[in-house]
């Protein structure tokens, strides 16, 4: 667990390296390739801080001040970004943390049961066994109760996060894309939501954990370069995007 935490805090989340390029020349080439110059130069397509043409699904992170490939979110807990390189580790870390914390709560419960607090404590008047035990733990070992309550709160929060992440992973969306869905026009076709990256939930999972359908999100800059994509989306005219 600590190993994963170290990677998530100190590791590279998928920083896109700045190449020494002639930006003007690169933009010119890019525009010639894309819609004969009709493609708009916006902060969605170019990062003027990193001086790069932004790969698809990347975003400039203000804290790291770098563009992150397949940006998911900035994690307040690890103070680092979650992106292409560490997104799968982030989800695995959450699952391991929830498991370890659940075992901790269970062990505390067993310890309290084993300790066999006396029921005859006169200061506690309750017929409810659980409340009786909790009240006695609070009186005799308040740190256990405090640690268990905090851990249970964390378990709920982390479970909520994991479910949110899994919901995104099976739909092949990042948290950033889910939150800002309406800002990204390529998720809509004829006014209807349609995800060009969606390969079906099984394949999306394989892609997320880098087992199969691996895409180099550092370098894919336009839709034609995606090696694995939602063919239903691309069956219709690309001009509508
Ligand atoms: Zn940038």
Q: Per-residue pLDDT tens for 22-43?
A: 666 666 666 666 555 455 666 6
Give residues with Cβ within 8 angstroms of 156, minimum separation 6: none
Gap between the Cα atoms of 121 and 133, Å rounded? 11
State in Å: Cα 181 to ligand 1 middle: 20
CB-neighbour burial class of residue 197 (10 A; exposed 0-12, middle 13-18, buried 19+) = buried
pLDDT-derived band of residue 90, with 50, 70 and 90 as boundaries?
Answer: very high
**Stretch 56-65: mean pLDDT, rounded?**
91
Q: How far is CA 139 from the centre of its chain?
A: 41
State in Å: Cα 113 to ligand 1 middle: 55
Q: What is the pLDDT of residues 134-144, one digit of tens each?
A: 777 777 778 87
**Sheet strands (E) in the chain:** 46-47, 52-53, 59-61, 66-68, 73-75, 80-82, 188-189, 192-193
State in Å: Cα 220 to ligand 1 middle: 15
pLDDT at 225: 81
Q: Mean pLDDT in the chain?
A: 82
State in Å: Cα 44 to ligand 1 middle: 10
pLDDT-derived band of residue 71, with 50, 70 and 90 as boundaries?
Answer: very high
State in Å: Cα 135 to ligand 1 middle: 54
State in Å: Cα 28 to ligand 1 middle: 19
- Ligand 1 ion: nearby residues, β-carbon < 5 Å: 47, 49-50, 60, 67
Lowest mean pLDDT among 17-21, 83-87, 120-124, 142-146: 120-124
Give the total residue count for the chain.
Answer: 241
Nearest to 226, CA basis, from 19, 71, 56, 33: 56
Domains of the chain, by residue range, sit at 87-171
State in Å: Cα 159 to ligand 1 middle: 32
Answer positive or negative: Cα dihedral of 46, 51, 57, 62: negative
Gap between the Cα atoms of 165 and 117, Å rounded? 41
pLDDT at 169: 96
Gap between the Cα atoms of 45 and 189, Å rounded? 20
State in Å: Cα 50 to ligand 1 middle: 4
**Stretch 178-203: mean pLDDT, rounded?**
88
Return contacts of 110-117, CB within 8 angstroms, 24+ apart.
Answer: 111/144, 112/137, 112/144
**Stretch 163-176: mean pLDDT, rounded?**
96
Highest mean pLDDT among 39-48, 104-113, 191-200: 191-200
More confident call, 177 vs 139: 177
pLDDT-derived band of residue 9, with 50, 70 and 90 as boundaries?
Answer: confident
**Stretch 112-130: mean pLDDT, rounded?**
60
Gap between the Cα atoms of 56 and 35, Å rounded? 17
State the helix-helix crossing angle for 129-140 and 142-171, rounded to 10 degrees.
Answer: 120
Gap between the Cα atoms of 63 and 85, Å rounded? 17
3-state secondary structure of 188: strand
Q: What is the DSSP letter of 119?
A: T
* 90, 134, 212 from 147: Cα distances, Å: 24, 13, 41
Q: Which pTM value belongs to this model?
A: 0.80
CA atoms within 13 A on the CB side of 110: 6
Question: Over the Cα atoms of the chain, what is R_g?
Answer: 25
State in Å: Cα 43 to ligand 1 middle: 9
State in Å: Cα 125 to ligand 1 middle: 63
State in Å: Cα 171 to ligand 1 middle: 26
Please determine, for residue 83, whether its predicted confidence score (pLDDT) is greater than 90.
yes
pLDDT at 37: 47
**62 contacts 79 by C-beta, under 8 angstroms:** no
pLDDT at 240: 47
């Amino acid at each position: 667990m600590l190993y994963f935490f170290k990677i998530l805090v100190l590791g590279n989340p998928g920083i896109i390296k700045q190449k020494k390029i002639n930006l003007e020349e690169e933009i010119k080439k890019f525009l010639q390739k894309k819609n004969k110059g009709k493609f708009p130069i916006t902060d969605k397509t170019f990062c003027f801080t990193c001086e790069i043409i932004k790969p698809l699904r990347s975003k400039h992170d203000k804290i790291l001040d770098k563009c992150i490939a397949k940006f998911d979110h900035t994690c307040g807990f690890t103070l680092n970004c979650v992106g292409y390189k560490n997104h799968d580790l982030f989800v695995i870390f959450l699952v391991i943390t929830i498991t370890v914390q659940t075992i901790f709560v269970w062990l505390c419960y067993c310890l309290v049961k084993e300790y066999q607090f006396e029921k005859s404590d006169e200061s506690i008047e309750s017929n409810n066994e659980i409340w009786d035990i909790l009240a006695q733990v609070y009186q005799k070992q308040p740190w256990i109760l405090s640690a268990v309550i905090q851990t249970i709160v964390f378990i709920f929060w982390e479970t909520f996060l994991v479910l949110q992440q899994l919901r995104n992973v099976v739909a092949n969306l990042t948290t950033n894309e889910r939150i800002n869905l309406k800002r990204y026009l390529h998720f809509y076709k004829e006014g209807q939501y349609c995800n060009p990256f969606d390969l079906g939930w099984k394949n999306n999972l394989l892609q997320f954990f880098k087992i199969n359908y691996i895409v180099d999100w550092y370098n894919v800059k336009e839709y034609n370069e995606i090696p694995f994509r939602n063919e239903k989306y691309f069956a219709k005219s690309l001009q509508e995007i």
